[in-house]
Structure 1
Amino acid sequence: MRAALVARCGQPPVVGDHPAPSAGPRQALVRTVTAPITPLDLLCASGTSYFGEPATPYVPGVQGVGVVESSASVPAGTPVWFPTSAGMAPGDGSLAERVVVADAELVVLSGTVDEQHLAALGLSAIAAWTALLLRGGLEAGERVLVLGSSGVVGRVALQAARLHGAGAVWGAALEPEAHQDALDLGADGFVALARDDSAESLTERMRETVGEVDLVLDPLCGVPATAALGCLAPHGRLVNLGSSAGATATFSSAQLRSGSRTILGYTNNDLTAEQRSDAMTRIEEHAAAGRLAVPYEVFGLDRVGEAWTRQANGEVHGRAVVDLRD
């Protein structure tokens, strides 16, 4: 079968022939329709993630949308979304014509959302959704600040916060166009970030815009997270799910303790199959109704190296999605 293959960590995948997989007990054979290239794919294939360096060659792709060809629990022909552990554990991922997935991991789809759009939402949307609701405990009426609001996670978080009754929502990002994008997605305001921000100046600028917030969604860490911690209201929570702006952030012990404020870590890997399925089902429902959307660009499998490089360089508007249909 045709597949994208990472032959060497740190290098884009190339298209080649790869042995077709066979499903074992409690496994499904899925024909992949489309799969996104995500920050997690790039990190795993770099060989520098906390999962360790993957054995090469391997097929990347930590998720996909496809059609069941055989399964003990799902009828053949059923459209599904599925995760994989490619790059995090031995085995191949979704950027191949066929993939083997545990039956329990399949999420049956209604087919009401374009496959490429659903792939673009995927795990990033699940992360935003569950980090806000399960980990962050968002309640109606609370004030939310979304760092990195220009990314797929951030865009979904802005929309999800509104869908769940947030009293006010603000975005924060580097890109000049991100201000209007955040307002278009329902934000009440926006904080412009800069690469040379100091924590002190950014905290002051944030507080001028948002005052205090109850919940911060943080895929950035670094200076933006440090500044956002200074804007947390008493009993406020910051949920970190990434470090694209820096590996560390700092906080004041007095400020944290005096208001019983909380810093929380989040990873999709802690979700149960049931939690992941429930989140994806809700995401599909809202996307079908036009209440949840992210931008994406579609590439054929023969252009997977280009798609990979452009996603890594931040040259894709939204998410790069690879279509594996002929």
Structure 2
Amino acid sequence: MHAIMVSGPGGPENMSWTEVEDPVAGPGEVVLDVAATAVNRADLVQREGHYPPPPGASGLLGLECSGRIAEVGPGVVGWTVGDEVCALLAGGGYAEKVTVPVAQLLPVPPGVDLVVAGSLPEVACTVWSTVMMHGGLSAGETLLVHGASSGVGSHALQVARAVGAQVVATANSARFDVCRELGADVVIDYSGDVAGALSDATEGRGADVILDNMGGTNLATNVAGVALDGRIVVIGVQGALTGEVNLAALLARRGSIAALSLRSRPVDGSRGKGAVVAEVRDRVWPMIADGRVRPVVHARFSLSAAAHAHRMLAAGGVVGKLLLVNDQTAPVNG
């Protein structure tokens, strides 16, 4: 098979389409013929040498994919060769074939084609595990989503609206309309007084759950904007690795800050990837089936041209996800 290999830490010029050995399904695993994968911000960070895969995971880029089951390993039940699926991965999606633990498989949601399904597992599992399983967002509460036009952000807006929450988004002013279309009740310019605008939008209450991808840059804003008993969930450090926290302000609000990662979780256990995937199948897939949540795809590239997609994501302006399509399986413009 062929896969995208990275010759060493650096830019997209270090990526190449290279022949590698085919994977083999072990116990409790399947091999997929990949139809599509998607570019996540974490892929860029790994390419730069700052986000190594967890022990035992593939060293190839790619945290999600869709495809057809090509091989079933020992002990696998409920799935057969030829099934169309999508999957959460710890790595390996930028390839024509990939091995997946069966607990991380999902059926393609009703109404979604096989290629587009490759854009869903990482955002769906990230949002559900952070905003819902950890943050406990419920109807009538307020969610603040930073970077709301991103892949994770665009999905979080829709899920929050679907569960009956008030949704506040931060974004560049050029993307206000798309954030409103995706479910934001209020959109705030991220370069302005976010805490003040959030206070105005919530009559001084603040946000019950804050989903943050910037890290240290937003710590002070998040603490100032969190509601009583509010939950701040950090999933990225695009702005800064460190920051100061006003603990007195956080104590006064009985607030909490959690930094959560999906990729490093084990497959099994109550907090493992398998448990997250099971909840996504039970709770999010029905939202997609009835139209409350939809995939948001900005552009498609051939899998072999992944470097171009990396450049586009790094340049900014992407709304939702960038798909990498295995054109041996499905045409890029199909």
The offset of 1:51, in angstroms, is 5.4
Please give the TM-score of this superposition, normalised by the length of structure 2.
0.85
Correspondence 1:138-157 to 2 at 5 A: 138-157=137-156
Alignment correspondent of 1:82: 87
The 3-state SS of whatever aligns with 1:162 is helix
Of 300, 309, 314, the residue aligned with 1:307 is 309
The 3-state SS of whatever aligns with 1:177 is helix
Answer yes or no: is 1:268 the counterpart of 2:262: yes
- Preserved CA contact (<8 Å) 2:208 2:230: yes
The offset of 1:164, in angstroms, is 1.0
Rounded Cα–Cα distance in structure 2 between residues aligned with 1:52 and 1:279? 22
Rounded Cα–Cα distance in structure 1 between residues aligned with 2:45 and 2:18? 22
Of 193, 204, 209, the residue aligned with 2:196 is 204
| Unaligned residue ranges in structure 2 (runs of 5+) | 266-270, 329-334
Of 18, 34, 46, the residue aligned with 1:32 is 34
Cα distance 1:111–1:288, how it changes in 2: closer, same or farther (>3 A)? closer
Cα distance 1:52–1:10, how it changes in 2: closer, same or farther (>3 A)? farther
Rounded Cα–Cα distance in structure 2 between residues aligned with 1:138 and 1:162? 11
Rounded Cα–Cα distance in structure 1 between residues aligned with 2:100 and 2:120? 20
Aligned pair count reads 312
Correspondence 1:213-292 to 2 at 5 A: 213-269=207-263, 270=265, 271-272=271-272, 273-280=274-281, 282-292=283-293
The offset of 1:36, in angstroms, is 0.5
**One-letter code aligned to 1:152:** G
- Preserved CA contact (<8 Å) 2:168 2:186: yes
- Preserved CA contact (<8 Å) 2:198 2:207: no
Alignment correspondent of 2:136: 137
The 3-state SS of whatever aligns with 1:36 is strand
The offset of 1:50, in angstroms, is 6.4
**One-letter code aligned to 2:83:** T
**One-letter code aligned to 2:196:** E
The offset of 1:142, in angstroms, is 0.9
The offset of 1:64, in angstroms, is 0.6
Alignment correspondent of 1:89: none
- Preserved CA contact (<8 Å) 1:122 1:280: no
Cα distance 1:101–1:9, how it changes in 2: closer, same or farther (>3 A)? same
- Preserved CA contact (<8 Å) 2:36 2:67: yes
Cα distance 1:246–1:280, how it changes in 2: closer, same or farther (>3 A)? farther
Cα distance 1:70–1:51, how it changes in 2: closer, same or farther (>3 A)? closer
The offset of 1:223, in angstroms, is 3.4
Rounded Cα–Cα distance in structure 2 between residues aligned with 1:151 and 1:262? 24
Q: Which stretch shows the higher mean deviation, 129-138 or 243-252?
A: 243-252
* 1:5-32 superposed Cα distances (whole Å, 9 cap, x missing partner): 1122223321121122222333212111
Alignment correspondent of 1:43: 45
**One-letter code aligned to 1:49:** Y
Rounded Cα–Cα distance in structure 1 between residues aligned with 2:126 and 2:3? 27
Answer yes or no: is 1:2 the counterpart of 2:2: yes
Q: CA RMSD in A?
A: 2.5
Please give the TM-score of this superposition, normalised by the length of structure 1.
0.87
* 1:268-288 superposed Cα distances (whole Å, 9 cap, x missing partner): 143421322321454333223
The 3-state SS of whatever aligns with 1:230 is helix
The offset of 1:54, in angstroms, is 11
**One-letter code aligned to 2:95:** A
Rounded Cα–Cα distance in structure 1 between residues aligned with 2:57 and 2:211? 33
The offset of 1:233, in angstroms, is 1.9
Rounded Cα–Cα distance in structure 2 between residues aligned with 1:253 and 1:278? 33
The offset of 1:81, in angstroms, is 1.5
| Unaligned residue ranges in structure 1 (runs of 5+) | 87-92
Answer yes or no: is 1:186 the counterpart of 2:188: no
- Preserved CA contact (<8 Å) 1:117 1:296: no
Cα distance 1:315–1:140, how it changes in 2: closer, same or farther (>3 A)? closer
Cα distance 1:53–1:313, how it changes in 2: closer, same or farther (>3 A)? farther
The offset of 1:113, in angstroms, is 0.9
Any runs of at least 4 consecutive aligned residues in structure 1 with deviations exceeding 4 A, and if so which?
A: 50-56
Rounded Cα–Cα distance in structure 2 between residues aligned with 1:208 and 1:275? 35
**One-letter code aligned to 1:11:** G
Cα distance 1:143–1:301, how it changes in 2: closer, same or farther (>3 A)? closer
- Preserved CA contact (<8 Å) 2:2 2:17: yes
What's the % identity of the aligned pairs? Answer: 26
- Preserved CA contact (<8 Å) 2:85 2:114: no
* 1:60-107 superposed Cα distances (whole Å, 9 cap, x missing partner): 212111111121322111112223322xxxxxx021111122233322
- Preserved CA contact (<8 Å) 1:113 1:284: no
**One-letter code aligned to 2:42:** L
